[in-house]
């Protein structure tokens, strides 16, 4: 395994792969620093540029975006008190107060180095567990796959949003999208309403791009012309000089907290659709609970910054595990990666590591190297990234929409995908306005075909429905599916009794 990893790192050091990784990381940091632009948006913008590249080049760029984005968000969080993205909200709780106390460099670099160490710990988990988990998944038959996908969907529906019913409904809408088109067995058109280009089905990338791009952009457009605060007007670049050795020691002198919060991040990353923002806040909460001085949290304590940033970067490692071992995306960014892989004819899942070892270990290597590149980029340009808030959204949004159109069109050089993008843009915005979470929808769209194929395959092998429950792994997964829904219902009713209903669509999809 380690020989393959070393070979992967050596391979990645070739300019052919290193340049896309470095550019992706740079773009990720820039996108991360831009308030309101999530990692998903940044990776969607990068997606069309990867079509003409080799799979490993394209994936390196996307992994770079992911790592850079998770770290870039902390710049504006710490220095301006504006989270660059949802997964750096908790970083702001202590990063900004520390900056206000006259230590902006310390706040910023504590976050950057914590991201680095947290990311590397996530990398160790990624390299160490993907293979064994994939081997476990090799024992799966269609019954187990069906149950696994149902489990993923039920968990996402249960864990996102304020209402379990709306989460499940959103997932069901995703499944409905996948039944449009020819049926997988006999190729008979279903629900196409006589529209020719729907016969091939709806590919999930235009759905994902449309749903997320419009939900996010229109959400910001709604607020345009309303906000009175202009970050540009108050922008003062602070002095960020700091002793790196001192900052690194500050982090490494808290090994238990670093390990625990990184583990929290990884664990949340492994769960589908529960991404960086949940990791960031939960790790912060954990650090506060275990601290000897919880009262200091929120006033500029280093533990708050270290915990939240270590977790959101280690989370990336966890998200990559699920996609590489099971073919289930851990969040929207890995969902886009899944799309990029399928465009190149590669199917992630249990056989991925054994069939595509060069690519798999290349991904591991890109993930590990990306953190070193991120540090180098931050060392050189952190002062300048702060100026990114000056880019007006009136320029940014049209450019993003053009790239979305190009991305959808370039999937197979047809306007049909652009029309899907438009329809899904309306759907995504409508769902947000209707209070439906987007995460289950996307997972439903991604897993829908596989759920149907595995259901049909299992029933054609043996029409005994009890096999889904009596086969041990399948039965366990279905039990966990029911348990996750029951748990979510219980949690929701408890929150209602306390009068605290969780916010809608808190997931990272």
Partner 1 sequence: MKLTRDGWTGLACLVASLVLFGFTIGLRDNPLVPIGPGFYPRIVLGISAFLAGWVLVQSLLLPAPAGKGGENYRLVAGVFAIFFAYVGAMPFLGFRIATLLFMAALQSTLEPPRGTKGWVIVAVTAILTTVICYYLFEGYLLVLLPRGRWTDF
Tell me which residues touch partner 1 (CB under 8 A).
48-49, 51-53, 162-163, 165-166, 168-169, 172-173, 175-176, 179, 183, 185-186, 188, 190-191, 193, 217-218, 221-226, 392-395, 397-399, 401-403, 405-406, 409-410, 413, 415, 418-419, 421-422, 425-426, 429, 433-436, 448, 452, 455-456, 459-460, 463
The neighbour count for residue 3, using CB atoms within 10 Å, is: 8
Number of residues written out for the chain: 509
10 or 183: CB nearest partner 1:
183
Least distance from partner 1 to the Cβ atom of residue 238, Å = 28
Least distance from partner 1 to the Cβ atom of residue 8, Å = 25
124 or 459: CB nearest partner 1:
459
30 or 436: CB nearest partner 1:
436
Residue 498 has which token pair? 């306390």
If phi > 0 it is left, if psi is from -120 to 50 it is alpha, else beta; for residue 430 that is alpha
218 or 259: CB nearest partner 1:
218
Least distance from partner 1 to the Cβ atom of residue 204, Å = 16
Q: Is 181 helix (H, G, I), strand (E, B) or coil?
A: strand
179 or 483: CB nearest partner 1:
179
Q: Which residues contact 216 (CB under 8 A, 6 or more apart)?
A: 36, 38, 40, 41
Nearest C-alpha neighbor of 280 from the set 449, 451, 77, 5? 77
The neighbour count for residue 366, using CB atoms within 10 Å, is: 31
The neighbour count for residue 242, using CB atoms within 10 Å, is: 16
Least distance from partner 1 to the Cβ atom of residue 54, Å = 12
Label the pairing between strands 189-190 and 181-182.
Answer: antiparallel
186 or 233: CB nearest partner 1:
186
Q: Which residues contact 440 (CB under 8 A, 6 or more apart)?
A: 153, 156, 157, 160, 167, 168, 170, 171, 174, 273
Least distance from partner 1 to the Cβ atom of residue 296, Å = 33
392 or 472: CB nearest partner 1:
392
Least distance from partner 1 to the Cβ atom of residue 307, Å = 31
Residue 185 has which token pair? 């067995």
Beta strands in 159-297 (DSSP E): 181-182, 189-190
* Whole-number Å distance between alpha carbons of 34 and 80: 12
Least distance from partner 1 to the Cβ atom of residue 70, Å = 26
Nearest C-alpha neighbor of 83 from the set 129, 33, 17, 45? 33
217 or 307: CB nearest partner 1:
217
Q: Give alpha helix (H) positions in 224-301.
A: 244-252, 255-270, 276-290
Least distance from partner 1 to the Cβ atom of residue 171, Å = 9
232 or 426: CB nearest partner 1:
426
49 or 125: CB nearest partner 1:
49
Nearest C-alpha neighbor of 280 from the set 62, 33, 24, 507? 507
Place of tokens 């990692």: 39
Least distance from partner 1 to the Cβ atom of residue 91, Å = 25
Least distance from partner 1 to the Cβ atom of residue 179, Å = 4
* Whole-number Å distance between alpha carbons of 87 and 74: 9
* Whole-number Å distance between alpha carbons of 214 and 220: 10
């Amino acid at each position: 395994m380690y020989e393959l990893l070393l070979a992967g790192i050596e391979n990645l050091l070739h300019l052919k792969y290193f340049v896309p990784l470095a550019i992706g990381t740079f773009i990720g940091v820039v996108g991360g620093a831009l308030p309101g632009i999530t990692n998903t948006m940044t990776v969607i913008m990068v997606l069309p540029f990867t079509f003409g590249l080799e799979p490993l080049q394209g994936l390196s760029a996307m992994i770079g975006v992911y790592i850079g984005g998770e770290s870039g968000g902390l710049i504006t969080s710490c220095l301006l008190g504006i989270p660059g993205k949802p997964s750096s909200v908790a970083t702001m709780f202590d990063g900004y107060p520390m900056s206000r106390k006259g230590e902006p460099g310390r706040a910023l670099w504590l976050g950057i180095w914590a991201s680095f160490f947290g990311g590397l710990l996530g990398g160790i988990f990624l390299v160490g567990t993907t293979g064994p988990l994939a081997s476990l998944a090799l024992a799966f038959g269609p019954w187990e796959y069906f149950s696994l996908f149902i489990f993923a969907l039920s968990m996402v529906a249960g864990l996102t949003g304020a209402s379990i019913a709306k989460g499940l409904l959103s997932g069901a809408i995703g499944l409905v999208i996948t039944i449009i088109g020819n049926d997988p067995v006999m190729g008979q058109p279903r629900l196409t309403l006589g529209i020719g280009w729907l016969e091939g089905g709806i590919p999930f990338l235009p759905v994902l791009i449309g749903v997320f791009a419009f939900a996010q952009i229109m959400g910001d457009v709604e607020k345009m012309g309303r906000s009175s605060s202009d970050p540009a007007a108050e922008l003062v670049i602070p002095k960020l000089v700091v002793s790196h050795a001192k900052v690194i020691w500050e982090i490494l002198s808290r090994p238990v907290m670093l390990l625990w919060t990184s583990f929290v991040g990884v664990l949340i990353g492994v769960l589908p659709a529960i991404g960086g923002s949940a990791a960031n806040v939960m790790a912060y909460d954990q650090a506060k609970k275990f601290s000897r001085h919880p009262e200091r949290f929120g006033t500029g304590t280093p533990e708050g910054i270290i915990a939240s940033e270590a977790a959101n970067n280690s989370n990336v490692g966890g998200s990559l595990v699920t996609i590489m071992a099971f073919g289930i995306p851990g969040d929207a960014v890995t969902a886009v990666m899944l799309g990029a892989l399928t465009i190149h004819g590669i199917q992630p899942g249990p056989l991925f590591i054994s069939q595509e070892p060069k690519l798999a270990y290349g991904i591991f290597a890109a993930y590990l190297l990306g953190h070193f590149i991120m540090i180098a980029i931050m060392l050189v340009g952190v002062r300048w990234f702060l100026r990114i808030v000056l880019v007006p959204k009136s320029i940014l949004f049209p450019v993003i929409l053009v790239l979305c159109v190009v991305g959808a069109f370039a999937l197979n050089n047809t306007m049909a995908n652009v029309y899907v993008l438009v329809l899904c843009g309306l759907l995504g915005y409508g769902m947000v306005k209707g209070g439906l979470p987007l995460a289950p929808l996307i997972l439903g769209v991604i897993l829908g075909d596989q759920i149907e194929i595995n259901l049909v395959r299992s029933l054609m092998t043996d029409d005994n429905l009890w096999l889904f429950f009596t086969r041990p792994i399948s039965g366990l997964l279905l039990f966990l599916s029911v348990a996750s829904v029951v748990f979510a219902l219980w949690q929701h009713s408890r929150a209602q009794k306390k009068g605290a209903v969780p916010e809608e669509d808190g997931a990272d999809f």
